[in-house]
Structure 1
Amino acid sequence: MEQTVDVVIIGGGPAGLNAALVLGRARKSVAVIDEGRPRNRVTRETHGFLTRDGISPSEFRRIAKEQINAYPAVQFVEDAAITITGTDGHFETTTAQGATYRSKKLLFAVGMKDLPLDVNGLTDVYGKSAFVCPYCDGWELRDQPLVLIVKGARALHSAKMLSGWTNQYTICTDGPDEWTDEEREELKLHNVPTYDSKILRIESSEGMVERVVLEDGTSIPCTGIFFAPKLAAGSTLPQTLGCKMKETGTVIVDAFGKTNVPGVYSAGDAATELYQAITAASLGALAGVCINGELLTEAWNSKS
């Protein structure tokens, strides 16, 4: 099967969906290619998104697609993009199921993906009582005893942030803390308990954490965990096209979502380290506006 559209969007999360909404309303033909395995599928609720606070990720997508379906130029393709070739105005995307989509522009909204969690028991509680962002899930764990699993330079920043939701938290570095003497002193000044023993296991019941047990025998009762995830780029396709990347796997873009490759854009978690649904959606909308503007300008100039 071969189709020609104005824009191919790879990724159907908040960024890709909002871009599709903007482009659909702008009467551009769009194919949204997404295999249906979002990173936030492990979580029960999405928070911080105005009018949708507390909604499940699956329900959020269902409503978004239902609304976008009012614009017939947008189609959703449950598939995975595996190869992309071409240049601005003439891109060709091939999927795992053998379909080919030709497009003038590309938008990568591929997000990030979690690398395997190497703490025994963390997978059992991830998305239920263990989270990565206090802005997304801190309210639900306010004033409760928590464990923060983090080391190195991120620890002090994370401790400051978590203090806005609870003052009952302990830092476990799961090995050498990698802190400077100044960082250790600052944490001590604020009476933050810290442990650098390796984590033996996280004990839980039906996804709700009960305690963190260290190899030195220390047992830390808690009702929630925040941890620093290990992430990788959601797709290697931007790199294959020549997009410049950060060491974190984030695609480098300008203020409008443009990459260094003409005709190629990126938005959402793939293009920022501010991992929130509402941020991703707003960046997707902005990229959609810019893509539409570029298409209109090119069409206008072709008649000059």
Structure 2
Amino acid sequence: MKDTNPFDVAIIGGGPAGLSGALVLGRARRSVVIIDEGKARNRVTRETHGFLTRDGSSPGEFRAAAAEQMRRYPSVSFVQDAAAEISGADGAFRIVTSGGDAYEAKKLLFAAGKKDRPLDIEGLADVYGISAFVCPYCDGWELRDQPLAVITSGEGAMHMAKTLAGWTSSYAICTNGPDGLTDEQREALAKRNIPLYDAPIERIESKEGMVEQIVLRDGRRVACTGIFFAPTLVAGSDLPQSLGCEMTEAGSLVINDFGGTNVPGVFGAGDAATIKYQAIMAAAMGSMAAVGINMELLQETWDNA
């Protein structure tokens, strides 16, 4: 096992939230270690959208650009590994990685995001990130004016029915079983000529990642060139809970305006601490959490002078 000198901050997760936090902390002259296993949830996508100056960059390009800019700040270190265990308390945390290395830090920032549960519809994994997405604000422009399908039910179906209208007038809703809608909601969809299919989905047919149609178990087929669906997500790391961090039912860390959790010295940012899954939101949260961390460190130095 390799031990290193203590860091001011250890960041678990190297996506937009963790990288943005590291940038702010590096500029504040803090020693930082970013521990990331390189398995970001958005690695299946070809492009990142809606992030000013980085619109259209692949997740890999985004991270490479961030790493290049971070070289200006020698107090920031990168470790490609997974954080496996965390012990200690505010001012003296100890992180052990899957590879057996250990790192000590005064503060922790969890920015490990969330993870997709296995996709249980045959063929969905083949198109995910290519022609099937989860957020119209992120990927609707690329599918504008095309025939699309939405895979979700209940209130989520109504939300997407209203939202997708901004990008296309041709879309159907596939609920993959009972629709979970009221009679009034079904009438609202019918009034707007939005097809509703409540049969279970047999499979999604595609060619080289491009959706062609959704085949239902009752034999009907829904032709489409793109899909939006509601994924099932879980927390990207169980380590915050092991430290006693409060979590929401959605698996998000409960944080204050500067990313602080209920556990002293532990902060959260990005998808790990919100259900607003946009890269630019994650980066902003990482920046604010870094300010919160630095404020605590400055106050502690002031008090101990």
1:271 aligned to 2:273? Answer: yes
Aligned equivalents of 2:217, 2:190: Cα separation in 1:
23
CA deviation profile, 1:134-158 (whole Å, cap 9, x unmatched) = 0000000001000000012211111
Instruction: Note the C-alpha offset of 1:10.
Output: 0.2
* Residue in structure 2 matched with residue 169 of structure 1 by the alignment: 171
Instruction: Note the C-alpha offset of 1:279.
Output: 0.5
Aligned equivalents of 1:129, 1:146: Cα separation in 2:
10
* Residue in structure 2 matched with residue 254 of structure 1 by the alignment: 256
Aligned equivalents of 2:186, 2:256: Cα separation in 1:
37
Instruction: Note the C-alpha offset of 1:24.
Output: 0.4
Aligned equivalents of 2:54, 2:256: Cα separation in 1:
28
Matches within 5 A, 1:184-195: 184-195=186-197
* Residue in structure 2 matched with residue 292 of structure 1 by the alignment: 294
* Residue in structure 2 matched with residue 79 of structure 1 by the alignment: 81
Give percent identity, aligned residues only: 64
1:30 to 32, 42, 48: 32
Matches within 5 A, 1:10-25: 10-25=12-27
Aligned alpha-carbon RMSD (Å):
0.7
Aligned equivalents of 1:246, 1:134: Cα separation in 2:
25
Per mean C-alpha deviation after superposition, the further-off stretch among 27-36 and 152-161 is 152-161
Aligned equivalents of 2:123, 2:16: Cα separation in 1:
29
CA deviation profile, 1:215-246 (whole Å, cap 9, x unmatched) = 11111111100000011100100000000001
Specify the SS of the correspondent of 1:279.
Answer: helix
Tell me the amino acid that sits aligned with residue 211 of structure 1: Q
Tell me the amino acid that sits aligned with residue 2 of structure 1: D
Instruction: Note the C-alpha offset of 1:189.
Output: 2.3
* Residue in structure 2 matched with residue 113 of structure 1 by the alignment: 115
* Residue in structure 2 matched with residue 218 of structure 1 by the alignment: 220
Matches within 5 A, 1:59-78: 59-78=61-80
Aligned equivalents of 1:89, 1:211: Cα separation in 2:
55
* Residue in structure 1 matched with residue 160 of structure 2 by the alignment: 158
Aligned equivalents of 2:184, 2:296: Cα separation in 1:
50
Aligned equivalents of 2:257, 2:162: Cα separation in 1:
29
1:282 to 281, 284, 288: 284
1:2 aligned to 2:10? Answer: no
1:205 aligned to 2:207? Answer: yes
CA deviation profile, 1:109-163 (whole Å, cap 9, x unmatched) = 0100000111111000000000000000000000100000001221111111111
Specify the SS of the correspondent of 1:140.
Answer: helix
Instruction: Note the C-alpha offset of 1:69.
Output: 1.4
Aligned equivalents of 1:159, 1:297: Cα separation in 2:
49
Aligned equivalents of 1:302, 1:167: Cα separation in 2:
63
Aligned equivalents of 2:165, 2:118: Cα separation in 1:
28
Aligned equivalents of 2:154, 2:126: Cα separation in 1:
25
Tell me the amino acid that sits aligned with residue 278 of structure 1: I
Tell me the amino acid that sits aligned with residue 104 of structure 1: K
Instruction: Note the C-alpha offset of 1:104.
Output: 0.7
Q: What number of residue pairs does the alignment pair up?
A: 303
Tell me the amino acid that sits aligned with residue 204 of structure 1: S
Specify the SS of the correspondent of 2:11.
Answer: strand
Tell me the amino acid that sits aligned with residue 155 of structure 1: A
Instruction: Note the C-alpha offset of 1:182.
Output: 2.2
Specify the SS of the correspondent of 2:258.
Answer: coil
Specify the SS of the correspondent of 1:102.
Answer: strand
Tell me the amino acid that sits aligned with residue 145 of structure 2: D
Tell me the amino acid that sits aligned with residue 130 of structure 1: A
Could you tell me which runs of 5 or more consecutive residues in structure 2 were left unpaired when the two chains were aligned.
Answer: none
Aligned equivalents of 2:51, 2:59: Cα separation in 1:
11
TM-score relative to the length of structure 2? 0.98
TM-score relative to the length of structure 1? 0.98
